[in-house]
């Protein structure tokens, strides 16, 4: 298997996105290469889960995981990429690909090419 070169050489960025973290491989996929880790900001206003009797709405199920700040911090890391390959996790409200794609189309149209 041929290794993917870095953004500086080939221009490919691999983005593995989930609601709790995003790993961006811009320095290649060689064994031992480390991705950039982007985590969403922590919002302190939510009640923390403390008891089994607390409803799902108190465990963060009702909030938008892909906030503008989170998606913007991901987009900032992709500014030199010529091609972006996104590996999402989830569907519906948890669809990281859909959230990132819409954000790039709206706020960074030069990154959203395909």
- pLDDT > 70 in the chain, percent: 66
Q: Is the pLDDT of residue 83 over 90?
A: no
Q: Write down the mean pLDDT value for the chain.
A: 75
- For the domain spanning 1-43+65-114, the CATH number is 3.30.420
Q: pLDDT digit string (tens) for 32-67?
A: 888 999 998 875 455 454 555 544 544 555 556 789
Domain boundaries, the chain: 1-43+65-114
Q: Enumerate residues 6+ apart whose C-beta is below 8 A from 74.
A: 15, 17, 22, 24, 38, 100
Which one of 5-9, 61-65, 82-86, 103-107 scores highest in mean pLDDT?
A: 103-107
Whether residue 79 has pLDDT greater than 50: yes
Higher pLDDT, 2 or 23: 23
Percent of the chain with pLDDT over 90: 28
């Amino acid at each position: 298997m041929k290794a993917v070169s870095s953004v500086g050489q080939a221009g490919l960025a691999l983005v593995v996105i989930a609601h709790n973290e995003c790993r961006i491989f811009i320095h290649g996929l060689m064994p031992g290469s480390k991705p950039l880790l982007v985590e969403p900001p922590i919002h302190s206003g939510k009640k923390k889960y403390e008891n089994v009797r607390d409803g799902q709405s108190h465990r963060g199920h009702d909030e938008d995981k892909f906030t503008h700040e989170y998606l913007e911090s991901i987009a900032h890391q992709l500014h030199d990429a010529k091609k972006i390959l996104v590996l999402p996790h989830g569907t519906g409200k948890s669809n990281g690909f859909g959230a990132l794609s819409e954000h790039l189309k709206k706020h960074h149209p030069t990154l959203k090419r395909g």
